[in-house]
Structure 1
Amino acid sequence: MDEQVLLERARAGDEGAFERLVLAYRGELAAHCYRMLGSPQDAEDAVQESLLNAWRGLAGFEGRSSLRTWLYRITTNTCLRLNGRRGPRVMSPDRAAARSRTDELGEVVGGPVWMEPWPDDLASDEPGPATSYLRREGVELAFVAALQRLPGTQRAVLILREVLGFSAAEAAGLLDTSVASVNSALQRASRTLRQRVPAVSQREELAKLGAGGRGELVESFVSAWERADVDALVALLASDARFTMPPLPAWFDGREDVRRFLVERVFAAEWRLRPVGANGQLGFACYQRTSGEFLLAAIVVLSLRDGEIVELVGFQDPLLYRYFGLSLEMSPEER
Structure 2
Amino acid sequence: MTDSSSPSSTLTDDVLASFEGHRRELCAYAYRMLGSSFEAEDAVQETFTRAWKSYDSFEGRASLRSWLYKITTNVCLDMLDGPQRRARPMDLNGPSRPDSVLPAPQPDYVWIEPIPNALAFGADPAEHASTRDTLRLAFVAACQHLPATQRAILIMREVLRFSASETAEALTMSPASVNSALQRARATMSKVQPAVTDDYDEADEDQRRLVENFVSAFEAYDMDTLTTLLKADVALSMPPIELWISGPENVAAFMLGSGSACAGSKLVRLEGANGHVAFGHYKPSEEPGVYIPWSITVLELEGDTIAGLNFFLDTERLFPLFDLPMEMREPVA
Q: TM-score, normalised by structure 1?
A: 0.89
What does the per-residue CA deviation read over 1:65-115, in whole Å, with 9 as the maximum and x for residues that have no partner? Answer: 101100000001110110114732110122233210435111011131100
Q: CA deviation at 1:192?
A: 2.0
Q: Is structure 2 residue 263 aligned with structure 1 residue 267?
A: no
Amino acid at match of 1:280: G
Structure 2 gaps, min length 5: 1-6
Matches for 1:153-302 after TM superposition, within 5 Å: 153-203=149-199, 206-207=200-201, 211-268=204-261, 269-276=263-270, 277-292=272-287, 293-302=290-299
Structure 1 gaps, min length 5: 1-8
Q: CA deviation at 1:233?
A: 0.5
Quick one: percent identity of the two aligned structures?
Answer: 40
Quick one: which of 82, 87, 97 aligns to 2:84? 87
What does the per-residue CA deviation read over 1:245-300, in whole Å, with 9 as the maximum and x for residues that have no partner? Answer: 00011111222221210111223432011122111111121100011221111011
SS of residue paired to 1:249: strand
Q: What residue number does 2:312 align with?
A: 315
How far, CA to CA, are the matches of 1:305 and 1:219 in structure 2? Answer: 15
How far, CA to CA, are the matches of 2:269 and 2:302 in structure 1? Answer: 19
How far, CA to CA, are the matches of 1:141 and 1:75 in structure 2? Answer: 21
SS of residue paired to 2:81: helix
Contact 1:25 / 1:127 at 8 angstroms: preserved in 2?
A: no
Contact 1:284 / 1:300 at 8 angstroms: preserved in 2?
A: yes
How far, CA to CA, are the matches of 1:332 and 1:173 in structure 2? Answer: 56
Contact 1:285 / 1:298 at 8 angstroms: preserved in 2?
A: yes
Amino acid at match of 2:47: S
Q: CA deviation at 1:21?
A: 2.0
Q: CA deviation at 1:334?
A: 11
Amino acid at match of 2:174: S
Name the count of aligned residue pairs.
322
How far, CA to CA, are the matches of 1:163 and 1:334 in structure 2? Answer: 49
SS of residue paired to 2:213: helix
Q: What residue number does 1:119 align with?
A: 116
How far, CA to CA, are the matches of 1:128 and 1:220 in structure 2? Answer: 26
How far, CA to CA, are the matches of 1:143 and 1:265 in structure 2? Answer: 30
Label 1:315 to 1:138 Cα distance change in 2 as closer, same or farther (>3 A): same
How far, CA to CA, are the matches of 1:223 and 1:126 in structure 2? Answer: 30
Amino acid at match of 1:163: V
Amino acid at match of 1:287: Y
Say what the alpha-carbon RMSD is for the aligned residues. 2.3
Contact 1:301 / 1:312 at 8 angstroms: preserved in 2?
A: yes
Q: What residue number does 2:4 align with?
A: none
